[in-house]
């Protein structure tokens, strides 16, 4: 598609490619939990109905109406644990892997779900999409300008003189990789921030510090996560804050004990 646009509009291909990419990403985000994930995993009703009722009660308090709870059979494939809240309107769903249900106790599961509900209620997926949209436009424009500059300067070495020449594909891929790598720390910095917000949301709605901290410790063991990775790894590879940093925050965050206002208290319905 970029090369078709390069031939049709060599000056604005980057703009049209960006405009086409953003709706595609939004569509994937919408259908992934509903149409794509069930193609690869076995989604079924939750077996523990008492825990399901508690999860739905927590969801109602978080302002999530009409959600359905699904249990995914992942224990045949992995020991890793996961849960999420996705979908919109009538497609809202709360999903828990059976590995998580098998290895965490009731209160730990509820704190994990409080965190995941925080992502949903605070609109983190849409905010991340907005950030990625801006970065896609910026990255492709920079690729466009850099590609033109390099071709004009080194065309006798490259063996082609137009960006629309298919021979320029390796150069295009290299430039996209370089600028994507350069932008990675910005994206990961934002994802670490929204993870912190969801930790705070989950704590405030459950007020179960020990359960959340111990759940994270279990996730660290089962998912083989380094508790304190180096700075370079965090900047370029880590979607989440270091587990040790998160646990330290969780253990010390207790505004309800001193009657301080909650950051996300306005989102909560009365229990």
Do residues 91 and 31 make contact, with C-beta atoms less than 8 angstroms apart?
no
CA 109, chain centre distance (Å): 19
CA distance 220 to 104: 13
Please, how many CA atoms are within 13 Å of residue 188, restricted to the half-sphere of its CB? Answer: 18
Residue 171, both tokens = 């150069």
Select from 118, 154, 120, 140 the least CA-distant residue to 265.
Answer: 118
DSSP 188: H
Q: Based on C-alpha coordinates, what's the Rg of the chain?
A: 22
Q: Are 119 and 261 in contact (CB under 8 A)?
A: no
Distance CA 177, CA 168 (A): 14
**Alpha carbon distance 96, 103 (integer Å):** 12
**Residue 79 annotated among the catalytic residues of the structure:** no
Distance CA 124, CA 239 (A): 13
Catalytic residue among 116, 162, 204, 222: 116
Catalytic positions, written as ranges: 116
């Amino acid at each position: 598609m970029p090369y078709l646009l390069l031939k049709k509009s060599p000056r604005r291909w980057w703009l049209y490619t960006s405009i086409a990419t953003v709706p595609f990403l939004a569509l994937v985000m919408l259908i992934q939990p509903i149409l794509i994930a069930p193609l690869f995993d076995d989604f079924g009703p939750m077996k523990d109905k008492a825990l399901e009722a508690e999860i739905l009660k927590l969801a109602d308090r978080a302002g999530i109406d009409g959600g359905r709870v699904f249990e995914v059979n992942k224990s045949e494939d992995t020991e890793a644990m996961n849960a999420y809240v996705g979908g919109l309107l009538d497609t809202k769903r709360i999903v828990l892997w059976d590995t998580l249900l098998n290895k965490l106790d009731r209160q730990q599961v509820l704190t994990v779900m409080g965190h995941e509900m925080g992502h949903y209620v605070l609109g983190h997926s849409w905010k991340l999409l907005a950030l990625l949209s801006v970065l896609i436009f910026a990255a492709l424009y920079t690729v466009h300008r850099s590609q033109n500059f390099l071709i004009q300067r080194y065309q006798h070495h490259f063996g082609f003189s137009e960006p629309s020449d298919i021979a320029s594909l390796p150069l295009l891929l290299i430039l996209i990789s370089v600028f994507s790598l350069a932008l990675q720390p910005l994206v990961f910095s934002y994802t670490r921030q929204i993870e912190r917000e969801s930790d705070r949301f989950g704590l405030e709605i459950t007020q179960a510090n020990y359960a959340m901290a111990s759940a994270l410790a279990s996730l660290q063991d089962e998912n083989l996560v380094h508790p304190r990775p180096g700075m370079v790894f965090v900047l370029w590879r880590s979607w989440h804050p270091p587990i040790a940093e998160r646990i330290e925050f969780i253990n010390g965050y207790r505004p309800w004990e001193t009657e301080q206002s909650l950051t996300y208290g306005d989102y909560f319905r009365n229990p």
